[in-house]
Copies of this chain bind each other. A is one copy, B any other.
Amino acid sequence: MEPVEFRRWAEELAQWISTYLEELDGYPVLSRSRPGDLRARLPDEAPEEGEPMDRILSDFYELVLPGITHWNHPSFFAYFAVTGSGPGILGEMLAASLNVNAMLWRTSPAATELEEHVTDWLRRLLGLPEGFRGVIQDTASTSSLVALAAARHRAFPQAREEGLFHGPPGRVYASAEAHSSIEKAVVTLGLGRQGLRKISTDSAFRMDPEALDLAVRDDLSRGLRPVAVVATLGTTSTTSSDPLSPIRKVASEHGLWLHVDAAYAGAAAMVPELRAPFAGWEEADSVVFNPHKWLFTPVDCSVLLMRHPEVVRDAFSLVPEYLKSSPGEEATNLMDYGVALGRRFRALKLWFVLRWFGAAGIRDRIRAHVELARGFAREVDAAPDWERGAPVPFSTVVFRFRPPETDESTCDRLNLAVMERVNRTGEAFLSHTALDGRTWLRLSVGNLRTQKSHVDRAWTLLREAAREERR
């Protein structure tokens, strides 16, 4: 594509995207597609001859767009709500155009140095001490995999050479509320699902440090090898936070690596009055926080902050001849801090986002989201047939419809039906979770375009749906 033609289409997309962002409210949040809808409309084979861009874009508008669930929609309240903000999109445009690979320092010094620098900005904003060094991974799943690989390397120093075959079984500890990515990482690393021991939680879904201590002692007495404990600040179901100080104490006593998963809630650490749950995380061995969740950065951008980057490097580094740097080049090669050799220039969009909003601007928006969520929680608390399932420390509310004289399993079915009914309207999209085996709904605020009117409308839709389902 000639540069002049590229410019024409990029300008058309600039216009289309700006209209899209302007008119997002008019799209159904959750796609109304049924499985196979798109594939049925696509030819079985790639075209033999190249096609003009106007035809490709018209297929994008007509075929792809109806199959999009609009994560950028102000009424997207499912999972954790996110924003692909304007400055973030601009950063991605440039990153795709430069198309650099930040595997080695020399393969684009600015990509490596900006990544080191901007993750250091983030470290300061989060209130973490200087000892932490940052690296950007695609997702928290990968960041936690890398952190736990380092923990495994510390617990089984011979595993890098010999594998795990000769060691006593290793154990990672996390609360029953920890994210499924922790279990996936433990399985990937060869520790097996039994290698993750799930620790019970208290009534507010926080890890019980005494149960952790007992579990570690029990495992030690059985000849197992404790490797790491994962403390979650802002769990996926309820955004509960594990009590860091007592967990740290257990970790220190038994030599466990302490990994903190603050993938979602980390953004709140920038706001003084929301910082309480983070006290003590400066003692962690590693911390993951995802700017692509609650920091307005387009997916993917997960920051792993490492207090022992040398352990991560020792666990992963393998440098073949064709990747050796020149003598005298004493710089960081970021490929040594993760699984992937190839690395996009993700720091650019994060730099754009942090500068565009500024620290004060970020704090204001985080505060506004928390206030919207707590406002919704107050509505739920005041409504007779509704109840809340957990506190609201951040921007996510867990709640359910609980009409009188309804047994638990009826209540489960009712809430799923209410949720599906709301989601089908296309006006809002919520998700659900299970607490103690029962079904609860979740409303998560995290999109920059979300106003009180959107949250209010979701509440109206929920009550209407509940009335319909009770008929």
Contacts and interface: CB of A to CB of B under 8 A. Distances in A.
A49 B322 contact: no
A382 interface: no
A164 B149 contact: no
B10 A89 contact: yes
Nearest to A88: B96
Interface in A151-170: 152, 158-165, 167-170
Interface in A32-80: 33, 35-39, 42, 44-51, 53, 55-56, 60, 63-72, 78-79
Contacts of A187: 160, 315-316, 318
A96 B110 contact: no
In this complex, the member of A37, A322, A356 whose beta carbon has the largest number of chain B beta carbons within 10 angstroms is A322
A124 B47 CA distance: 11
Question: Contact residue range for chain A?
Answer: 35 or more
A202 to B, nearest CB: 19
B30 A6 contact: no
A10 B14 contact: yes
Nearest to A18: B7
Contact of A18 (B4, B82, B106): B4
Interface string A298-340: 1110100000000000011011111100100111000000011
A106 B358 contact: no
Contacts of A323: 180
B117 A99 contact: no
Given A14-B14, A48-B359, A194-B163, A38 B110 contact: yes
